[in-house]
A and B are shown apart, each in its own frame.
Chain A
Amino acid sequence: MQVRAIHLKLGRLSGVVKEALLFSYEVACEGTPLQGSRLCIEEIPVTVYCPACDAERALASIQHFRCPICDTPTPQIMQGKELEVAALEIEG
């Protein structure tokens, strides 16, 4: 049985950079059962809850925690902090 790929969800607010993770993945996997596997990263945008719109909205920028529609400030994060192994792709 061989792991072909790891599917990872990576939020923009996870504190982890996609490029850095991809760069180190191959080295980290050497000599482990994951050697030769792919790392598939799905980047998760940051969404917040806007109390004025009563709706979940995608942030235009993580430097600007305001509703992109009505400009109400909101600190309530709905998604974007993920650093999660979503799935493994296995063969054999």
Chain B
Amino acid sequence: MNTQPRLIEVRQNVLKQNDLLARELRVRFQAAGVYVVSLVSSPGTGKTALLEKMLTIFREEWRVAALVGDLATDNDAARLARSQVPVKQITTGTVCHLEATMVERALEGWNLEELDLLFIENVGNLVCPSSYNLGEDLRIVLLSVTEGEDKPLKYPTIFNTADVAVITKIDLAGAVEFDEHAAHANIQAVRPGMEIFQVSAKTGEGMDELKQFFRMRNAECGVRI
């Protein structure tokens, strides 16, 4: 019997299952012509508030829907239901991030063909969601003016996996002496060339620019949104 240790090459991604499923989801989304946008941020940045605002404004132009991830409650879905678009809660239990399989399960019973734009709100967390692809076309990372301008430097990985940054609660910028220049510089340091929007879900400031951005994506993607 051979008792010498031998090395067997594996070269397999630990998150291969998630990546494979995310790829399948992306194919499904593309076939149905739905543009999928995920939102990531730390807890309390205002993902749900921004999402509620976007759903309310965007529904005038597109057929929108949202999946919202939360650890324990369905408060977010209840809030978002006020925007009168299809919303489904994903309760993760103790899991601190969404995975592709949770998205797949939540989509059961929905006809993607009837949607133009689907939002996925991740669990409030700037660490774990960075490792899990959800099949989204666009990942938006949110940063609120109350969090400190150096957040991108503290969590470079998540900022790096995102495509667009949105600075929220801009109506409070003066009160918290938000240093806009530093925040932008820090975002650019960890993700050069990243597009940045500044919005207030409360006052509506910056929402037109955000909507215009989605219109341009629409033009780039042809029939999609």
Contact = CB atoms under 8 A, between A and B. Distances in A.
B160 interface: yes
Main secondary structure of the interface of B (DSSP, over half): mixed
B14 A15 contact: no
B171 to A, nearest CB: 29
Chain A at the B interface: mostly helix, strand, loop or mixed? strand
B12 A84 contact: yes
Interface string A58-92: 00001111100000011101000011111111111
B13 interface: yes
Question: Could you say which interface size class chain B belongs to?
Answer: 20 to 34
Interface string B1-41: 11111111111111100000000000000000000000000
B42 interface: no
B182 interface: no
B7 A14 contact: no
Contact of A63 (B1, B189, B193): B189
B127 interface: yes
A62 B192 CA distance: 12
Interface of B: 1-15, 127-128, 130-131, 153, 156-158, 160, 188-194
21 contacts: A7-B7, A13-B156, A15-B128, A15-B130, A63-B190, A64-B189, A65-B190, A65-B191, A66-B189, A66-B192, A75-B160, A75-B191, A83-B13, A83-B131, A84-B11, A85-B14, A87-B8, A89-B7, A91-B4, A91-B6, A92-B3
